[in-house]
Chains A and B, each alone.
Chain A
Amino acid sequence: MKRILPWLIVILTGITILSGYFVAHPLLQQIRAIILDIAITLAVIATIVGVINLLTIHSRKVRDEKPDWFNSVVLIVAFAGTTLFGLIFKPSHPVFTQLVASIQFPVEASLLALLSITLAAAMVRAIRPGMNRASLLFISAVLVFMWAATGFIPFQNSNGIQSVASFLNTLQIGGARGMLLGIGLGALTAGLRVLIGKDIPTGK
């Protein structure tokens, strides 16, 4: 019962929200708006719970002096500093915004740069012995699209080249749409299974 009750609430709210999309009754719309407000509040509370969990894990790492425990110290200090600064000066304060932007954006940009290197390394790995048709297809697709992106296609104004480029573009749009269709239908059935109440991840 302890686990069934929350999911009963999930099912009922799910059906109400879904009905709200299709039935334009004012009462249903009002209930839908209230449920969404509650959901947003709960999401915030869940995030707070998550942050407490994050801090607990890192403080435990420091206490047990696990490898790289100093990283956890940096995390805890940065978290405490950001929270205090945000509480005192409010998150919209220009200094606070500048401070966050000066640290977060360069770090994320570095990770993005690392991502491009990772992909280049993945391509090199694919060229190694044991290459299959899929890796061949991937490498040729990368090379063709990199070439096309540079804008250095000879005779790019000729009808023949444009037809080939258009054909290649149609191929990738078709493939992407096929995958999106599969994902969309998968998401639909996964949602419906939960609404039916038979697919409860936390259930027995």
Chain B
Amino acid sequence: MSSLAVGLILILATLLIMAVIAFLDRARVKINFRQIPSLESLQKSINLVVEGGKGVHISLGRGNFLSPHFAGSLIGLNLLKYLTRRCLNGDIPPLSTSGDGLIHILSQETLDSAYERSHLPERHGHAEAQIVGVTPYSYIAGAMMAQRDENQIVMLIAGHYGAESALLADMAERSRSHTISGTDDISAQAMLFVTTRAPLIGEEFFAVPAYTNPTLLNTSSLKTQDILRILFAGGLIIGAFLKLVGVL
């Protein structure tokens, strides 16, 4: 079987499982997810921002929309939407920095829609959605400067990064900001694991929409991920066993 056929089967199977779960849960969205400490700390951080009157900085990375890395940026934009809505309750709009033109435009749109939803005038200027650099290191340097200048109390690193993200996380930790990080890049995850207090590991990052906005689609999508992961893990173990006994 060709890899294209496997890809098509996987996409169709994912859609089918999502549809079945959504149909079964249609009457009531069942939220029985495990606790993710980093996401729990996100809730506490938002309270800190709203009650303390301090700002939040969300760094969206530089995932190009023509590459698979854009999935990480989509999760970052989801987080931005959630944070903006929550922070606007305390009249504190978040600062969003990005390293890609399209993510920047989308982050501005996200801020606009959050203002509109909160029945507030679109008063944010360019300062609340910034592009700080377009190459990996210039982006990190720019985001570090933005964090230092604005001195936000909470820093969220969410999107696509390389190993250089450790510099930004370290800077945020040193400025005593509460730092939560999540990325789709495995080397960046390893770096962020040791430099941030609340890292999101592996699939935890992609579980964010279901935890922050538990709609039927988001929860069924997360459950589908879990089911497929169990199936894949089972398949790998069975495959390894069959190879061990000489069947494969």
Which residues of A are interface residues toward B (Cβ below 8 A)? 3, 18, 21-22, 36, 39-40, 42-43, 45-51, 53-54, 56-57, 60, 66-68, 71, 104, 107-108, 111-112, 114-115, 118-119, 121-123, 126, 134, 138, 176, 178-183, 185-194, 196, 198-199, 201-204
Contact = CB atoms under 8 A, between A and B. Distances in A.
B206 A190 contact: yes
A60 B149 CA distance: 14
Contacts of B233: 178, 181
Interface of B: 4, 7-8, 10-11, 14-15, 18, 64-66, 68, 71-72, 74-75, 77-78, 80-81, 98, 100-102, 104-106, 109-110, 112-113, 116-117, 126-127, 129-135, 137, 140-142, 145, 149, 163-164, 166-167, 170, 184, 186, 189, 191, 193-195, 201-203, 205-207, 209, 215, 217-218, 221-222, 224-225, 228-229, 232-233
Contact of B126 (A53, A107, A134): A53
Contacts of B77: 201-202
B102 A189 contact: no
B113 A21 contact: no
Given A47-B100, A192-B14, 13 more contacts: A22-B8, A49-B105, A67-B149, A68-B145, A115-B164, A121-B170, A183-B186, A188-B71, A189-B221, A193-B221, A198-B217, A201-B106, A202-B112
B130 A118 contact: no
A134 B38 CA distance: 15
Q: Which of A134, A186, A193, A202 has the most CB of B within 10 A?
A: A186
Given A192-B15, A201-B78, A40 B167 contact: no
A181 B232 CA distance: 8
B149 A199 contact: no
Given A115-B163, A180-B186, A122 B194 contact: yes
Nearest to A135: B194
B65 A39 contact: yes
B137 A182 contact: no
Contacts of A68: 145, 149
Nearest to B116: A204
B44 to A, nearest CB: 18
B120 to A, nearest CB: 13
A185 B229 contact: yes
B81 A186 contact: no
B11 A192 contact: yes
A43 B217 contact: no
A193 B141 CA distance: 33
Given A186-B206, A201-B77, A46 B102 contact: yes
Contacts of B164: 111-112, 115
A63 to B, nearest CB: 13
Contacts of A22: 4, 7-8
A104 B80 CA distance: 31
Task: Give 9 nearest A-B pairs by CB, closest first.
Answer: A186-B206, A46-B101, A182-B203, A187-B71, A201-B77, A50-B101, A50-B131, A202-B109, A182-B202
A180 B229 CA distance: 11
Contact of A54 (B132, B166, B207, B209): B132
Contacts of A192: 11, 14-15, 18, 221
Contacts of B194: 119, 122-123, 126, 138
A115 to B, nearest CB: 6
Contacts of A138: 193-194
Contacts of B163: 115
